[in-house]
Amino acid sequence: MEVLNSSIFLLGLCLLLASSTISSAEPRTQNHEFVIQATPVKRLCKTQNSITVNGQLPGPTLEVNNGDTLVIKVTNKARYNVTIHWHGIRQMRTGWADGPEFVTQCPIRPGGSYTYRFTIQGQEGTLWWHAHSSWLRATVYGALIIHPKQGDSYPFPKPKRETTLLLGEWWNANPIDVVREATRTGAAPNVSDAYTINGQPGDLYKCSSKDTVIVPIDSGETNLLRIINAALNQQLFFTVANHKLTVVGADASYTKPFTTTTLMLGPGQTTDVLITGDQPPSRYYMAARAYFSAQNAAFDNTTTTAILEYKSAPCSNCKNGSSTKPVMPPLPAYNDTNTSSAFTTSFRSPRKVEVPTEIDENLFFTVGLGLNNCPKNFPSSRCQGPNGTRFTASMNNVSFVLPNNISILQAYQQNIPGVVTSDFPANPPRQFDYTGNVSQSLWQPNSGTKGYPLKYGSRVQVVLQDTSIVTPENHPIHLHGYDFYVLAEGFGNFNAKTDTKKFNLVDPPMRNTVAVPVNGWAVIRFVADNPGAWIMHCHLDVHINWGLAMVFLVDNGVGKLQSIESPPSDLPLC
């Protein structure tokens, strides 16, 4: 009896082991629950009722393998409409799970829920998720880490440790009140009170020392840092005292490794770097602060820090407050465009890639701000922008307006008229010296909900050109549903004759968000192989509010595998 039992037990164990080996190599499905809820959060000496996921700030980290499927049930127990966007996930044929409110779905209303289902296809590296509704992403965000398929490895030596660093932005006020106030007054919104690393401002701010994030390292080991700019409205420089950083990936695409001391990330961008414990065991600050390229505008000029701490540092975990003061790194000047540009032009794909060389759609989009004169029926309290105007922004002189009673994707798929028109201009309606002193007669854009139609499989090039209307500025432009190659970037007006020669058609980097240089341009290419309605927008939330966005309407190809899936039955309706 005993013998029989144990042999059955052994047999069972073998089966269990066999099945777990098999299943671990197969793609898996992960189920998660996200509860959106108000949670008391104490920062900078004050407690605020912040909107969080599951009471956490930042929210939970999702860790998957390439090929896995995520099923995330989002329940809204907050008092605001909400949606969640899985930033950088291609969402092949699953556009209904992309998340931007009124673009691919109506919001999940208070008390409602929606289950996002999607599969990771051919992506590896660091992405993140965030609310895509008003300014909720100030506190509703988290990391989405995609490991290689089970059994596959990184294209660099396996790091000893991996640490994710989410750079965020914190307001002492309720961020929704801040954006609502700006929408009412027409002025620029109040700037933030702090930047954060993994939700913590760090010890250069008041009441923050004891919660400063500690990143451990051992002498001699090489670790991977996954850095994500989740700030709402600010490009950030990031550096670590006395340590070099070797960039190996960005936006969940690997890059040809290069070494630098300073990173610049626009909101939405991620950068993976290797760091080696090759300095005397001690404590070193990791610091981030603004790269600010606009003129005559307020910005948050504070600095957030975490501490890189050698395990063998003298008294590394003294509880009596006598630990050695960390070494502070120098940071570039706030307006150091040279450092930003030196960094963003260093990216290459690891090897030769297949860039589309023939182009079906050659598009030229201006991106920039504007000022609307005060409408006649508005009191002056609603026109508190420069000289009694209201701030606005546009692409190709169209300031983007979201529908409020249906999503663009539903309207597009079901041919419901009067929601989105297919007449977004392929070129600016007027050509002018985009980076010069632009006549004020050009400063007021039109507004509308215009999409640019793309045939399935078309090869698309977009020149993104900053304008100096109101102020030149670096704009982090993010495209949903696609990764794209960045062929070139430069300053001044894009010149097709001379600048086309600078295109990297060999090993350009692949990204989902490109930092269009201040007073300059960037050129991207992608193949429209994912049907749906995909928003392309500036990832400074203040600029989205002002209308710096447009949508691509990509039609279905031939057959099921080239067509968008049917909408899920629980898709929130308006």
Ligand X SMILES: *[C@@H]1O[C@H](CO)[C@@H](O)[C@H](O)[C@H]1NC(C)=O
Report the nearest approach of ligand X to the CB of residue 367 (Å): 12
d(CA 321, CA 328): 18
List of residues contacting Cu ion (CB under 5 A): 475, 538, 540, 543
- Of 565, 507, 502, the closest CA to residue 531 belongs to 565
**DSSP 8-class letter at 530:** S
d(CA 203, CA 214): 11
Q: Which residues have CB under 8 Å from 360's CB, separation 6+?
A: 455, 458, 459, 460
| Under rule CB under 6 A, residue 381 binds ligand X | no
Q: Which does 386 bind (CB under 5 to 8 A by kind): ligand X, Cu ion, none?
A: ligand X
Applying CB under 6 A, which of residues 44, 187, 297, 406 lies at the interface with ligand X? 406
d(CA 18, CA 20): 6
| Under rule CB under 6 A, residue 417 binds ligand X | no
Candidates 18-26, 158-166, 174-182, 475-483; binding stretch for ligand X (CB under 6 A): 174-182
Applying CB under 6 A, which of residues 301, 380, 414, 422 lies at the interface with ligand X? 301
* 500 phi/psi in degrees, rounded to 5: -60, -30
Applying CB under 6 A, which of residues 57, 64, 97, 106 lies at the interface with ligand X? 106
Q: Which residues have CB under 8 Å from 46's CB, separation 6+?
A: 172
Report the nearest approach of ligand X to the CB of residue 392 (Å): 11
Of all residues in this chain, which one has the CB nearest to ligand X in the complex? Answer: 173
- Of 159, 151, 178, 307, the closest CA to residue 224 belongs to 159
Candidates 19-27, 55-63, 438-446, 502-510; binding stretch for ligand X (CB under 6 A): 438-446
| Under rule CB under 6 A, residue 387 binds ligand X | yes
Cis peptide before 572 (omega within 30 of 0): no
Report the nearest approach of Cu ion to the CB of residue 295 (Å): 14
Between 110 and 122, CB nearer to ligand X: 110
Residue 443 C-beta-side C-alpha neighbours within 13 Å: 18
Q: Which does 320 bind (CB under 5 to 8 A by kind): ligand X, Cu ion, none?
A: ligand X
Applying CB under 6 A, which of residues 58, 95, 107, 268 lies at the interface with ligand X? 107
| Under rule CB under 6 A, residue 333 binds ligand X | yes
Between 136 and 144, CB nearer to ligand X: 136
- Of 196, 289, 192, the closest CA to residue 237 belongs to 289
Q: Which does 495 bind (CB under 5 to 8 A by kind): ligand X, Cu ion, none?
A: none
**Angle, CA 29 vertex, CA 25 and CA 30 arms, to 5°:** 115
- How far from 158 is each of 28, 223, 412, CA to CA, in Å? 23, 8, 45
Residues at the site binding ligand X, with contacts judged by CB under 6 A: 81, 106-107, 109, 173, 177-178, 181, 190, 301, 315, 318, 320, 322, 333, 335, 337-338, 386-387, 397, 404-406, 418, 429-430, 437, 439, 441-442, 444-446, 574
